[in-house]
Amino acid sequence: MKKLLDILSDELKRAFKEAGYDDEKIIVTASNRPDLCEYQCNGAMALAKEAHKAPFMIAEEVVTRLEGSGYFSKAECVKPGFINLDISDDFLASYISEEATADKFGLENKASKKVVVDYGGPNVAKPLHIGHLRAAIIGEAVKRISKYVGNDTLGDIHMGDWGLQMGLIIAEMKERGMDRMPTLDELSEIYPAASEKSKSDEAFKNKAMDITFGLQHGNEEYLRIWRHIMDISVADLKQNYDKLNVSFEIWKGEADADPYIAPMVEKMKKDGLAYESEGALVVDVSEEGDAKEVPPCMILKSDGASLYTTTDLATLVQREQDYDPDAVIYVVDKRQDLHFVQVFRAAKKCCIVPEETKLSFLGFGTMNGKDGKPFKTRDGGVMRLESLLDEVYEKCLERMKENGSDMTEDELKDAAGKIALAAIKYGDLSNEARKDYVFDIDKFTSFEGNTGPYILYTMVRIKSILRKYQENGGKADDMKILYPANASEKSLMMTLAGFAPMIESAWEGLAPHRICAYIYQLANDFNKFYHETKIISEEDKARQGSWIALIKLTLSVLETSIDLLGFEAPEAM
């Protein structure tokens, strides 16, 4: 479906052209003076110089040619030469009717690329903590948006499963004389103990490093233990991500990149791109015009061990082979910015990915506590993801009970789970990803204000109106959407018309927060409209039917939007 602003712009282009002016740059935008008009066109101002005419005269000539236009109910010029526009009610209603029946609300599937989204990045054997929350939440949303706009999209969890933590665990098992495989519970105790010990015990740390080296170089015993740890950890990770409504198409990790490292390094050397510097193997990635120095990308340490950059580059080799992606998007903590600059440059320079492949880094900020410091548990420890989820869930359950709900215990629990997820995800996603934000449980779980629960509350309210309407014998299909009966209905319609362009912009900017801003506006528009309109008691059946169709559309747009954000609404709350 053609975008509303494009239709209106084309109508203005026609008028400018008919009045004898160049129409190339003519556009209509939303008004920045909503008290005066709904849309505006400033084209006359830009043409004045070239035409040797006052902008007001040009605007007048154009406005005459908009008389009788079916698109506008008002077109007037104001000094010095702006054109103020109001959209015609009938045209708006017909546009919304088309949107209501169109696939994806009229969004055109222009994107048809192969996209890999790399998000998650949990380190195996360490419990998931809140540091992994943002990657999961933002990455999942970006992946869903990419799919929705028509891309063939794969999410890769890219586990940290090949590093020192594995050596630490195996070293600790050896010291304890464990001759059987650990359970998940044992593992979650062994790793922190080993990590703690390595800080003070140099010999232990060296042992762990040797084991890590052995593991990475094919030691059978270590590999057996590694496989076992992977099996039990992956099962546990799946469960945890499930609770977040996050899932991955690809469950690969750093270890899977290992076989690609040796041939990759060989080629880099052969092509003369990697060279030795102080014993290490590096690739230069600085570029002219760099504001800050970008140090060479280290490929191998002096002892021949590979690094984080090495596995990321080798993973790109593997992705090229297996998926041949047009774009790879990394959703990782923004403090890894430099790492990705180096990896992307080295990948292009060494022809690991073709020049036209788009490599993007969506770096996110830190989730802070109310004290402005990285979020911690009450006693100052690292908060486990599960504990955070539980805490928010309890809070939501408590709020619902306070509100005096007549739901059964099971219904209450189901709703509380959905509200909790919405609170957490919306609280995160409504901020621009790069920014830090404060995790404020009271604010996030509130049913009022710019929160996830408020959006759900609005949806539940619509569902309840639709139920009531049906109980009264109303049929909810095939109703014609009529011209808006009042200003709040018109605003609601205008916001609904903005869905497709908003999605496009959320995709182009990798910006789920634009979806949040949009649904908050939509929920506010709906609530204002609902406040001023008596839907259920309306006598005029055509009018009532039109309203029902309109709120059904509002509900589906909200449902689609929150699905893209990765949460869902309960039936009641």
Query: Using CB under 6 A as the criterion, which residues of the chain lie in contact with ligand ARG when the complex forms?
Result: 118, 121, 123, 158, 160, 312, 330, 332
* Type of residue found at 166: M
Q: How far is the CB of 135 from ligand ARG (least distance, A)?
A: 7
Alpha-carbon distances of 233 from 188, 222, 252, 257, rounded to whole Å: 10, 16, 13, 19
Q: How far is the CB of 352 from ligand ARG (least distance, A)?
A: 14
Nearer to ligand ARG, 330 or 520 (CB): 330
Q: How far is the CB of 516 from ligand ARG (least distance, A)?
A: 24
| CA 562 remoteness from chain centre | 11
Residue in 146, 128, 159, 162 with CA at minimum distance from that of residue 242: 128
Nearer to ligand ARG, 301 or 335 (CB): 335
Nearer to ligand ARG, 119 or 520 (CB): 119
Nearer to ligand ARG, 160 or 566 (CB): 160
| CA dihedral of residues 227, 230, 232, 235 (deg, nearest 10) | -130
Tokens of 443: 């604010």
Residue in 313, 323, 325, 318 with CA at minimum distance from that of residue 354: 325
Q: How far is the CB of 394 from ligand ARG (least distance, A)?
A: 28
- 170, 134 contact by CB (below 8 A): no
Residue in 304, 282, 431 with CA at minimum distance from that of residue 364: 431
Q: How far is the CB of 160 from ligand ARG (least distance, A)?
A: 3
Q: How far is the CB of 303 from ligand ARG (least distance, A)?
A: 22
Q: How far is the CB of 207 from ligand ARG (least distance, A)?
A: 23
Tokens of 235: 């099962």
Q: Please tell me the distance from the alpha carbon of residue 156 to that of residue 164, in angstroms, as a whole number.
A: 22
Nearer to ligand ARG, 116 or 500 (CB): 116
Alpha-carbon distances of 81 from 16, 62, 138, rounded to whole Å: 13, 11, 44
Q: Please tell me the distance from the alpha carbon of residue 38 to that of residue 455, in angstroms, as a whole number.
A: 25
CB-based closest residue to ligand ARG: 121
Q: Please tell me the distance from the alpha carbon of residue 203 to that of residue 208, in angstroms, as a whole number.
A: 9
Nearer to ligand ARG, 246 or 400 (CB): 246
Query: At residue 46, what are phi and psi to the nearest 5 degrees?
Result: -70, -25
Q: How far is the CB of 212 from ligand ARG (least distance, A)?
A: 15
Nearer to ligand ARG, 120 or 545 (CB): 120
Nearer to ligand ARG, 240 or 561 (CB): 240
